[in-house]
Each structure stands twice: as C-alpha cells, then as structure tokens.
Structure 1
Amino acid sequence: MSENKIKNKQGMTEEQFLSIYDAGKYEKPSVTVDMLIFTVTKEEKKNYRKLSEKVLKLLLIKRGDHPFIGQWALPGGFVQMKESLDDAALRELKEETNIDHIYMEQLYTWGDVGRDPRTRVISVSYMSLVDSSTMDIRASDDADDAKWFSVSAKLYQEQKTVTEKGYVLQQLIKLNLSNEDDDLSALVKTVKTVEGKVTKVNREVVESNGIAADHAKIIAYGIERLRSKIKYTDIAFNLMPELFTLTELQQVYEVILDKELLKANFRRKTAEMVIETNEYTKDAGHRPSKLFRFNPNWINNME
C-alpha cells in the first residue's frame, strides 16, 4: 500500500486530511533571523616600527523605528512565508547593510516568551567572520545607520555552588561595544546547572545600555561560540588575506580568544593549516617576514 493511501484513526488518507486541515488551529509565532558579523581590523599604530594591534569588531545597525528606536541591534528581520531561514538571513543582511555573498552558519535559536514587545517572536541567529576591508557597508531605509563596533566580553563575576547532584555555576559577563561615536554596554548572566548527566544553561540580560532587545545575550553567546570554534576549526582564516605572516595569524587568534598564546605552541598547532610561500613582507621599518597561505587540505590537529 502506497504511503499516501494509509488511513489515520479517522479513516482519512493524507490527501483527505490535508484538504480539510485548519492552518489557523494553532497560534503562529513570528520568526526572525539575526546575524552576528565579526571582523578583525588593525588599530592605527603610533610608532611605525611596532606592529599594528588587531581588534575584534561586530557589525550593528541603529534602529530607525519602534520598538527600541535609536538603539543598536544586530542586522536581521522577519522570515517570509516562502523563503528558507538561510535565504532570509542573506536577504536581510543585504537589505540592511549591503553585505552580500558571504558564508554564514546557524548559531542558536532564541525563543523566550516576551523577548519582543510586538508579538511572540522566535529568532534564529547566524554567525560569520568576514574581511571588512572588502565590504561596502551601507544602512538601509529602515535603519538609521550601520557601523562596526569594537567588542569585548569579559568575565565580571563568577560563583560555583556544589549541590547534592552536581553544581550550579553562575557567571556575569561584561559586554562592551564602542566606536568613535558610541559606547554600548551590558551585563549578561549565565547560569549553568549540572545534575548528574543533565546540564541546563539559562542566559539573561541583567543590564543593557544602548543595545536593543535581548541582543546583548546573543552577542555574548556568539563570542563564546566563536572562541570555542576557533580552537578546533579553520574559521579564523575567513579573516585573513590570501597571504599573511604567522605573526598576523597569531594576532587574530589572540584577539578573539582575548589572551596571549605561546609562539611555539601556536605554530605547532597551526602548522598543517598553512602553506609556506617564497614571498616576504615589504613593510618599512620591519625585517621581511615569510608569507603563508591557507591550506584547504589540512588535517585537524587542534586541541
């Protein structure tokens, strides 16, 4: 018997069932997409003999309408009925920031009740790393502005309580975003509860200054995931030009991880990820450095 002829408990085939199905039987939440677009840029150097410092940055748009008018938010918008989540993310990013043709991966789905004052909204967040020097950023008609913000997420407070079945770990993450015109901040509380083999994590925005909706906790989680992924994937190479020095590559890892790395260990771990070339840098004031390129056939040996 063909599958579409199988009858349910009411004696209907699938075709008969679908012909009378009431699509309005259940309330429909709205679905949106929000994009975390990270880049790493060079800070201007005061001494030309010193290497430029690199800074992690995130792209935000300034909301031009209610709710949260005048506050800064992640690029994003509502998913249309006849498009996939991925297509919606690419469309919204193009419409709101003029960024096109980049790879993005799904990060997490946010569905807390009351997270949007307009209606019940579930948001699927995406993450991408890009070379901002190749981007022509322009805000859309429904956004007042689009800008890169230097971003940092640091552990502000931590408390671990041992329980009968496991433990509860509470962390406060201090989030700071800034550029030449704006300074934004937030405190995000993360509570991780472990009971035997069951782990639950709850995230809450405790305080937010200038960051719209619950986007502060989306940003904090995005940085957490980025720091995790950079340890075992080649995601960092999305930020690199075709040719680069090993020092430049290490700087990118350090600015994302927010810590210094031992040169010898770093080069050992990334050895198979790069291919040595016969070219050298030609920067004035510095000794020439060997240039490398990404090895697409590397074998994962990252810890």
Structure 2
Amino acid sequence: MNEGKITNKNGLTEEQFLAAYNADKYEKPSVTADIIIFTVSDEEKESYRKLPQKVLKVLLIKRGDHPYMGQWALPGGFAQIDESLEEAAARELKEETSIDDLYMEQLYTWGDVARDPRMRVISASYLSLADSKTLDIKANDDADDAKWFTVSYKLFQEQKTVTEKGYILTRLFKLELQNEDDRLSAIIKTVKAVEGKVSKTEREILESKGIAFDHAKIIEYGIERLRSKIEYTDTAFNLMPELFTLTELQQVYEVILDTELLKANFRRKIADMVTETNEYTKDAGHRPSKLFKFNANWNDTK
C-alpha cells in the first residue's frame, strides 16, 4: 500500500516510477553552447587630426579539426553532463580563447535537425559585449586561431506580401566579416509571417563562405537583437571604457544601428545614463573634450 502518496495509473509512486524508468527510451541529442562576443573598436586613422571611425567586430575561432576544418566559427562547444549551459559557455570560451569572467546572456536556442553533420546537436547561443582593449585573445584547445572580424550587415532585398489575415515580409541580408587576412560572407533570408497578433520569423542561410555550421544565422540574429536592445537598455555601455566622450558613445550607437543620429536628440536620450567628470581628453591635434562615465543608477531616477 502507498497510503498518502500519489500514484500513477500503474499504481507507482514517483520514487518507484523513477527507480524503474528506462533512460534509453529516447535518443539523446547533444547540447552545445556558442558565444557571440561583439566589440566596437577604432579603425586606423588616416590623419591624426581626424577622429577615428568606429567599427563593429565579432570574435571568431578557426576550426582545427573536422567538420568545417579551416573555417571560422563562434567560440563554443559541447556541454558536459554535470554542468549548466552557462558553465559550459564560460568553460568553452576560456578553453578556446583564454577569455575568463565575461558577462553573457542567453540569446536563442537553435535546433534544426541537420545543423551539425556529426549528429543531432542543439545549441544555446549566448550574447556578450566587451571592450576589446581589456581582452587578451589567445587560441587554445581545438582552435587554430582566434581573431576579431569587422562586421558588415546590409539589407539588399525586401518584399512584403499582404495575406488574408496579415502579411509576409521576406528580406535578404548580406553578412560580411573581414580582417587583414580573411574575408567571410553569407546571405541570409528571413521570412516574417504575421497573422493578427501572432508573428513568426524563420531564418535560412542561402549561401555561406568560410563560416562554419549555421553560425552566420546566429551572428545575424545576434546583430538584430543587439540593435533592439540598445534602443531601450544600457547594453551599449558594456562596449565602452570607463571614461569616454559623448561623441565616442554616439559613434558606438551609430555603428550598431547602422545609421546617423542627430546629436541633440541622442544626447537627450542618454542624458540620465551618463555622469559628467572633471577630466578631458588629451589627444594631439584635437580640442580637449569632456569625459563622461556610465551612471549605473540611471534607471532609479526615472
């Protein structure tokens, strides 16, 4: 008798059910964690009198083994049975790039059946922003190399079809990643179907050159999320040094959003997020500019 205990239709308590449970009843997919690390850095200046332009960069590792040997991928790898996804992401990042103790937030879970030629693999992707000047990148483990790639992400075709209950928006984007030695590219199609209050977006890689697995799609999604987040959060300040000018901060917003912003409007928008200091820039060839720092309590004032 199992008085006072809940039993199932076979008369088993939870303890009895778990003791008899066959863990091999279902096939087990493998799980990985992949990390998108974005940074914004200065392009080389043509003249010391000109302010350097900002560029968005992503960190990639060169695969040292099959599959996709010699191609570039996001840092990441398989989660072990006794660690959380966050722990797996942090461990893989340190093993492949020597980066430790970096803030990450979960971005999306990718589960297409054929996304990995080895076996069924589900990947949890993580988004991270960092000031690249504070990171010492070194390729370790199964990575042949680790480098920053400048990101170019452009919409080049768009079609909207009205349906009976809403619309379908089809877009084609070109993603280009390059540094002094390598040039990678991909074409990604997104299809957004809207019916009343229900919206669904699907992504497909139409062409990929030099980017391993489905990582072009993950990077594209990461850029879209980043653009959305900096509109309503203080995310962009993770890309800034401790002290910065308002012009530098505006350039970071502009390079992420891929658009020019009106100076007055931008400064009104971020006024509560920054605190003025008594320090100034000391760049040769430029007038000194006031330096600011992030106001961690900006949300409390609203």
What TM-score results when the alignment is normalised by the length of structure 2? Answer: 0.97
Q: CA RMSD in A?
A: 1.6
Deviation at 1:141, TM superposition (A): 3.0
Equivalent residue number for residue 174 of structure 1: 174
Letter paired with 2:33? V
Deviation at 1:300, TM superposition (A): 8.2
CA distance in 2, matches of 1:21, 1:224: 43
Equivalent residue number for residue 6 of structure 1: 6
Q: Deviations over 1:66-101 (max 9, x none)?
A: 111111000010011100000000000000011111
Deviation at 1:153, TM superposition (A): 1.0
Letter paired with 1:15? E
Deviation at 1:283, TM superposition (A): 1.1
- Unmatched segments (≥5 aa) in structure 1: none
CA distance in 1, matches of 2:186, 2:4: 53
Contact 1:4 1:15 in 2 (8 A): no
Equivalent residue number for residue 196 of structure 2: 196
Equivalent residue number for residue 97 of structure 2: 97
Equivalent residue number for residue 275 of structure 1: 275
Letter paired with 1:288? P
CA distance in 2, matches of 1:280, 1:162: 54
Q: Deviations over 1:235-278 (max 9, x none)?
A: 11111111111001001111111111000000000000000111
For residue 96 of structure 1, give the secondary structure of its aligned residue in structure 2.
helix
CA distance in 2, matches of 1:80, 1:231: 36
The correspondence of residues 25-104 of structure 1 with structure 2, limited to 5 A, is 25-104=25-104
CA distance in 1, matches of 2:151, 2:80: 31
Distance of aligned partners of 1:3 and 1:176 in 2 relative to their CA distance in 1, 3 Å threshold: farther
- Unmatched segments (≥5 aa) in structure 2: none
For residue 223 of structure 1, give the secondary structure of its aligned residue in structure 2.
helix
The correspondence of residues 172-251 of structure 1 with structure 2, limited to 5 A, is 172-251=172-251
For residue 298 of structure 2, give the secondary structure of its aligned residue in structure 1.
coil
What TM-score results when the alignment is normalised by the length of structure 1? Answer: 0.97
- The number of equivalent residue pairs is 301
Deviation at 1:138, TM superposition (A): 0.8
Letter paired with 1:296? A
Deviation at 1:47, TM superposition (A): 1.0
Contact 1:96 1:140 in 2 (8 A): yes
Identity, % of aligned positions: 76
Equivalent residue number for residue 24 of structure 1: 24
Comparing 276-285 with 216-225, greater Cα deviation is found at 276-285
